[in-house]
Structure 1
Amino acid sequence: MKSYLLKGWRPGFLLLLLFIIWEAIVKMAGIQEWLLPPPSAIFSEAINGWTSFFSHFLSTIKLSLLGFVIGSSIGLLTAIILHLLPFIRESVYPLLILSQNIPIIVLAPLLVIWFGFGLLPKLIVITLVCFFPITVATLDGFKQTPSDLKHYMMMAGANRKQLFWKLELPYSLPAMFSGLKISATYSVMGAVISEWLGAKMGVGVYMTLASSSFRTDRVFVAIFAIMALSLLFFAVIKLIEHSLIRWKMKGDDIQ
């Protein structure tokens, strides 16, 4: 974990350099703020308008977390069922892939027509973007179980339930957490998209109001907030991963 913190100054330094270049280009080119505001104007708006923005931000956090929990649970359950029942996997897996070819932004209006403007269509949107990475990653993790260990346990008299809980599931954890990290960042994106459907609060609503009034600085505040929230979710999942599968992390450090 310390190695990640020590390496963190590199992207931070690069980000600071990009902000400096951005500020200089906007100032020297005389670009109007409504078209492309400098970082100083964006950070100033973030500080001055934090009181009004915080309620929108908090609403998106709650929606993202709820959708992520539901999407993750469905994704894990789907992966376990498909793994334990191969004949169902052969029929359902292609349909899961096809479901990801439908753009969420196109499906969203249909969800509003079918389920209205309440919480349900928003949770469906987030679930759709979250469950697939977890399902695919976990299924791949089950396949990574060493066959020699599986044969050894079967020779020792282990049944199917014991094979799953004591061998296959532990070996699938690294891949499972990879899917969780992807879905955690997707949940924020899904929440913002769902808020565009029709909501009273949220970063998506804040962005819509800001863009309609040509407050580009507020649009960038919302974008940076979405990025920060996605990174936060990713970091939390990463910490949980480190605490649960230390044996895998130690092996990676040795390599």
Structure 2
Amino acid sequence: MSISPTDRVANDRPAAPASRRPAGVRPARWAPSMILVAILIAVWESYVRLADVSPRVLPAPSRVVVQGWANREVIAGHAASTLQVTLLGFALALAVSWIIATCVDFSPWLRRAVVPLLVISQTLPIVALAPLMIIWFGFGILPKLLVVALVTFFPMTVGLVEGFASADRDSDRLLRSMGASRRQQFRYVRLPSAIPRFFTSLRIGITYAVVGAVFAEYVGASSGLGIYMSQQKNAFRTDLVLAAVVVTALCSVVLFLSTYLVQRIVAPWAAEDER
């Protein structure tokens, strides 16, 4: 039985051992950071207690935890709203990124036309655009989704474009010499080459997405961690503001780590390359 050239190229990639864990989710890699955080929290707690700082100015970490837990149901409701905006906006940016990067890869002329515009788009201040989104699209979920998408689509698009461009030229020429179509070259060579850079940019984008969602809620929203922090700030509840900040950070960390699990499922060979 004969084996097609495209199948041979696809099967040449070594399979990753199932027992190895991606570098990003190894507990040992996080241990120094966790120790440093624990030290900083201990110093913070000691300073507040010894200096007798007002909770309105700087609450102790223990107070932040106690008050955050006491208001956990309210905070959880706002966190769910923020996560909804984050995931929907990120999904929109992800879809747009794939479409733009794929079209750019198939058209050199489009690459020269679009890539400079992508760079220019990052010079536009989101601080100025977010209020305009509210004016143009109202106070619903759409303007918040657009803000998140604007914040996150650039790193993912650039990561894909550069990943496609980094494909092995010898493999491309080999497939062309064997009669492979442009679509087959993309599927078996250029797409696998882009996966590692894509997941790197995905991790950058997902952390930006949470920040973008919170900022969009500051501009105009009825629920979400952003509007919750704004309300508590106006009430001089610094402890609850910091509790919401902690929840926001935890959401970012969970989403960041989830990208490693997705990579492990979708492209385990790319996860092994990051070891």
Give the TM-score taking structure 1 as reference length.
Answer: 0.95
Residue number in structure 1 paired with 2:48: 26
2:63 to 38, 41, 44: 41
Q: C-alpha separation between the residues in 1 aligned to 2:169 and 2:228?
A: 52
Length, aligned pairs only = 253
* 2-11 or 163-172, larger mean C-alpha shift: 2-11
Residue number in structure 1 paired with 2:216: 194
Q: Which has the higher helix share?
A: 1
Root-mean-square deviation (Å): 1.3
Q: C-alpha separation between the residues in 2 aligned to 1:137 and 1:250?
A: 19
1:77-110, CA deviations, whole angstroms, 9 ceiling, x for partnerless residues? 1111111111112112111111111111111111
Q: C-alpha separation between the residues in 2 aligned to 1:213 and 1:34?
A: 10
2:73 to 51, 61, 69: 51
2:204 to 182, 205, 220: 182
Q: C-alpha separation between the residues in 1 aligned to 2:271 and 2:82?
A: 32
Q: CA deviation at 1:51?
A: 1.5
Amino acid at match of 1:209: Q
1:44-84, CA deviations, whole angstroms, 9 ceiling, x for partnerless residues? 11111102211111111111111111111111111111111
Q: C-alpha separation between the residues in 2 aligned to 1:123 and 1:92?
A: 22
Q: CA deviation at 1:252?
A: 4.4
Q: CA deviation at 1:250?
A: 3.2
Q: How does 1:1-255 map to 2 (within 5 A)?
A: 1=21, 4-253=26-275
* Alpha-carbon contact 1:46-1:218 (below 8 Å) kept: yes
Amino acid at match of 1:30: D
1:102-131, CA deviations, whole angstroms, 9 ceiling, x for partnerless residues? 111111111111111111111110110111
Give the TM-score taking structure 2 as reference length.
Answer: 0.88
Q: C-alpha separation between the residues in 1 aligned to 2:251 and 2:271?
A: 25
Q: C-alpha separation between the residues in 1 aligned to 2:85 and 2:201?
A: 20
Residue number in structure 1 paired with 2:5: none
Q: C-alpha separation between the residues in 2 aligned to 1:8 and 1:88?
A: 42
Identical-residue share of aligned pairs (%): 34
Q: C-alpha separation between the residues in 1 aligned to 2:71 and 2:80?
A: 14
Runs of 5+ unmatched residues, structure 1: none
Runs of 5+ unmatched residues, structure 2: 1-20
1:124–1:251 distance in 2 versus 1, CA, 3 Å: closer
Dislocated runs of 4+, deviation >6 Å:
none
